[in-house]
Homo-oligomer: A and B are copies of this chain.
Amino acid sequence: MASALISKYDLIMKASLSLFTERGFDATTIPMIAKRAEVGTGTIYRYFDSKETLVNVLFQESIQRFSEKVKRNYSEMPVREGFRHIFCCLVQFTKESDYALFFLETKKDAHYLNETSKKMIENLTQMLDDFFNKGKTEGVIRSLPSNVLIAIVLGAFLKLYQLMQQGDIEMNADLISELEQCCWDAIKLHSLTSEE
């Protein structure tokens, strides 16, 4: 009786997300997930058709929640503030669920992603693309292809986030603020005064 504070579904999602992040999709087995989620292996198949379905649901859920977070009223912000908003979304995401950024390390041509997942990557990319285009038009962001700009920021963030997960660094407000500045510096269009 009682129990079920967290639904089995959520336990499976949580367990598989953490394992996929730690070991990758292919090195994670269904029994491993079942054990960490403390459910039977068969139970996983009551909620997900297959391991592939599971990873795609997970992927889509992550990217969906992130996209919605970003979308919220950032379009009217000035570019600099919009960038900070995006960066904060990344950070918040990290805080909410240690493993939520699984989608950052998944290559878009990963063999296990289905069409829907790929579509959602494209949508997120498009949204960020629009943002960077705005910045480029306004002359605040370097005029590089948007996918290049995205690669720089997300690539940097992914590795930082991995450091944190490995316990190599501890994130505090000051560090986050400085890292955001680093990323911004990477893509901002520096005034034409004598730089090195």
Binding site for B on A (CB under 8 A): 22-27, 80, 107-109, 111, 142, 144-145, 147-148, 151-160, 162-163, 166, 168-169, 175, 178-179, 182-183, 185-188, 190, 196
Contacts and interface: CB of A to CB of B under 8 A. Distances in A.
Contacts of A152: 156, 159-160, 179, 182-183, 186
If over half of A's interface residues share one DSSP class (helix, strand or loop), that class is named, otherwise mixed; here it is helix
Contacts of A196: 80, 188
| Oligomeric state, in copies | 4
A155 to B, nearest CB: 3
Contacts of A186: 152, 156, 182-183, 185-186
Contacts of A111: 23, 27
Contact of A159 (B155, B185, B187): B155
Nearest to A187: B182
Nearest to A160: B151
A157 B186 CA distance: 12
Given A24-B24, A185-B185, A196-B188, A158 B160 contact: no
